Every structure is written in structure tokens, then in C-alpha cells.
Amino acid sequence: MKVTNPNPCLINVAVDGDYVRIGPGRTADVPKEAVESLLKSGALVPAGRQAASEPESEAQKSPSEMRAGELKAELDKLGVEYAGNASTEVLRGLYEAKLAEPKE
């Protein structure tokens, strides 16, 4: 199963006594059984779902519902710089401000 790491940190998945390392924003092919709990927690997402439904995911989850890791991942995609120790509220404010900017 292809999965993507939407978080700004590395995720290690145990597979056959070894680890598959999935970096931030990276996609890897791993056995579904190895990632079921990570999919349920949101630490990983199915690769096709994230790319195919990005606008829908914004509609499904508003910035007020997002956690710090999710906000950082979105800010990284948008090229917005932030302090590594920024609070969730600061990250949310940066993200909402960027979304409010007029599209060019």
C-alpha cells in the first residue's frame, strides 16, 4: 500500500524485522498491516487520497481543527517560514493569513 507522510517529522514503519523510513512529504510502499494504526491516527495518509483530494481535505478539516504538525506540513507546502518552536495558535494564524491572501 502506498502511503504518504504529511508530517514535518520522519516516521519509521516496522516491516519484516527492519524499518522503512518515510520522510516528511515522502511516499513509500509498505504492507497495509504494518501501517493500519498509523493510518487510523493520521500519522500517515493513503498516497492517492492526499494528492487527489487536497482541496477537499481543506474543506473537511478547518484550520481550527488542525494540530501543529498538520499546520506545519501545510505551511511547508505553501512556502511559509515559521519558528520551529512556534505555538499551534501562531502556526494557525500564519496559515489562515496565507489562505486569506489573494491568489495571483
Say if CB 74 and CB 99 are below 8 A apart. no
How many other β-carbons are positioned within 10 Å of the β-carbon of residue 76? 16
pLDDT at 104: 66
What is the full per-residue pLDDT of the chain (104 aa) written as tens digits?
A: 999 988 888 899 998 889 999 988 889 999 988 888 888 888 888 886 643 344 444 445 788 888 998 899 899 988 999 998 999 999 999 999 988 888 76
Distance CA 4, CA 24 (A): 8
Distance CA 11, CA 20 (A): 8
Say if CB 26 and CB 4 are below 8 A apart. yes
Q: Would you list the domain boundaries of the chain?
A: 1-53, 61-104
- Closest of 101, 74, 102 to residue 88, by C-alpha: 74
Distance CA 81, CA 100 (A): 16
